[in-house]
Structures are given as C-alpha cells and as structure tokens.
Amino acid sequence: MRIFNHRSKSVPSAGTALETGAPAVEKTAAEKPAVEKTDEQWRQELTPDEYRVLRQAGTERPYTGEYWDTHTAGVYQCRACGAELFTSSEKFDSHCGWPSFWAPLAEGTVRYIHDRALGMERVEVRCATCDSHLGHVFDGEGYGTPTDQRYCINSVSLKLVSADDAGAEPRRQ
C-alpha cells in the first residue's frame, strides 16, 4: 500500500497502513492502542503544551522545540507513553525548524492517518502505542535521504534518551 498517491514510493519501511481521517468507528482489540487513558488522565499527566500537541494534534512553532537542532546519539521516545519511535541514526538536518527523521525506529512503531486539515493533503504520524500525534511525514522533497521522506516531528512529542544515559547504543528492531 502506498501512503503517497503522487509518487511510486512504497509505504515507509516502518509503519502501518494509512488510515483516513474519517469519523471514528469501533476498533477491534488488535487495532486499539496498547495505552488507553481518559482525557482527564492525559490532562493530569501532560503539560498544557504536551497535551495540545500530543492529544489535540497541535503543532509547536518552528525553531522553538528542544530537539530541532540536537545531534545527541540516542533513542527518541513518545513523550506520552515512552514507546521508542526514532533513533538519532535516522535524524537529519532538514532546516525546517522541527526534528526530522527519514524513517521510524521499526515497523509498527508509528501509524499513519490521511490529514486533509488546513486545506492541505498531508499524512499525519501517530504513536502506535498510545495514539498520540507526533507530526507529519512528507515524501519526495529531495533531501537525499535513503527513503526520500521527512518525518517532521514536534519536539514536545518526543523525549530523547541519550546513548550515554541508556548505557548502550540505540537499538534497531
């Protein structure tokens, strides 16, 4: 399945099928996120900025996030649930103002939703574990990365665990 209709690129090597932004339908147990919390629980656990981005699909301003220009080796986790999503090995300088990755850490760590908000055609990226909004993925921008894709992710959606803090190199699954 392709997530981008205008290119012959395949689905990113790490992810699940593209979903539409259609109204929610009852999901099977296999489709439900592993971490489910009430809106009130998320509000208690997250800062207002984290809640706005992770749970309401907001976006932080460019060049203001903690990780947009970080080059520390490590693993980027979902700030909401701690799931490992990206590694510094796939991070690159896109100069767009947000952290950019050319692929997620492993297949199934993120999921994709067709986003037609704001009058644009985009592909939203969410944490597969807790369904938190992370950012968007763009295709064919000419960055010269192995996948020719840019996962443009909000810093506030991530927590970097440096390789030094983890005591080992980031692992690919």
Which residues form the catalytic set?
152
Dist. CA 159–CA 148, nearest whole Å: 25
Cβ neighbors of 150 (< 8 A, separation 6 or more) are 94, 96, 100, 101, 102, 137, 138, 141, 143
User: What is the DSSP secondary-structure string of 111-142?
Assistant: EEEEE-GGG--EEEEEETTT--EEEEEEE---
